[in-house]
Amino acid sequence: MKFVLQIVREQISNIPLIFRLAGYDIKSAYQMHYLGTIWQFLNPIVQILAYWFVFGIGIRGGAPVGDTPFFIWLLVGIVPWFFISSSITQGSNSIYKKVSLVAKMKFPVSVLPTITIIKNANNFLLLFCGLLIILLLNKIYPGIYFLQLPYYLFALIALLFSVTLLSSTISVLIRDFQTAISSLMRMFFFLTPILWDASSLSNSLINLLKLNPFYYIIEGFRNTLLNGTWFYEDLLLTIYFWSFVLLVLFIGAFLHIKFRNKFVDYL
């Protein structure tokens, strides 16, 4: 447990540094592009339109999911997924990319995955604000269930932090792991009910889907904004999700503290 507390203390004591470096990364990412940071929104918009056309119009024939238009239902699931996918894929490589630059100075290496999460959180928050505007324009109001949105945002950040801490450490030790993470995230994109409705599946298959921690997050946002369901109504799933996050965080913190002084030796 002391490993987890040490990692958390490093994040808290370096909050100004994390936000400053994340801001620099955002500015530098598109500085050579004519449209600059506009690409942060153009890329996801193009993907959303493509998925809506193929799955919503092509496969479903424009049919809604329950009482919700497919386009709205898709947006509520895919906007958090963009944040999850980019943060885990980039965060897993964050230490390997920069450890040689910071190895010769006193630098809290454990903040590198967090910097990636904060950088991608900027895109997510802007897209999420756009999503809320679209919901209001379509007269979809979450009502009192909107109060649980901070809970799912916290759960999302906790999941990303624990997974990227572990995966970024393993990626330094075993380079194949970074390639495996990219492949796994593509697989989870289709295994998580983002583009398709899981309600028609049998109970046994739905229970199997719930083992995927991303399911809890994606369905949590839909339950908050569309379905009107509290997070504690499926208490067993909530306990499973936080057990998963804490286990991954513990393993990630232990491996990071154990190996971080030797990261340069693995480059």
pLDDT for the residue 44: 87
Spatial neighbors of 11 by CB under 8 A, at least 6 apart, are: 18, 110, 111, 114, 161
What is the DSSP secondary structure assignment for residue 68, as one 8-state letter? B
Amino acid letter, 210: K
How many CB atoms are closer than 10 A to CB 156? 23
3-state secondary structure of 65: strand
Give the alpha-carbon dihedral of 39, 121, 247, 78, to 10 degrees: -60
Q: How far apart, in whole angstroms, are the C-alpha atoms of residue 20 and residue 178?
A: 26
The count of C-alpha atoms lying within 13 angstroms of the C-alpha of 187, restricted to the half-sphere facing its C-beta, is 8
Q: How far apart, in whole angstroms, are the C-alpha atoms of residue 27 and residue 9?
A: 27
pLDDT for the residue 32: 67
Q: Chunked in runs of 10, what are the mean pLDDT values of the chain (267 residues)?
A: 87 91 80 68 88 89 88 95 94 84 74 93 92 93 92 96 95 87 92 89 90 95 93 94 96 91 75
pTM of the model: 0.91
pLDDT for the residue 174: 87
Alpha carbon 217 to its chain's center: 9
pLDDT digits (tens, 9 = 90+) for 7-28: 999 999 989 989 998 888 887 7
pLDDT for the residue 198: 87
pLDDT for the residue 101: 66
pLDDT digits (tens, 9 = 90+) for 242-253: 999 999 999 999
pLDDT digits (tens, 9 = 90+) for 42-56: 888 899 999 999 988
pLDDT for the residue 35: 64
pLDDT for the residue 215: 95
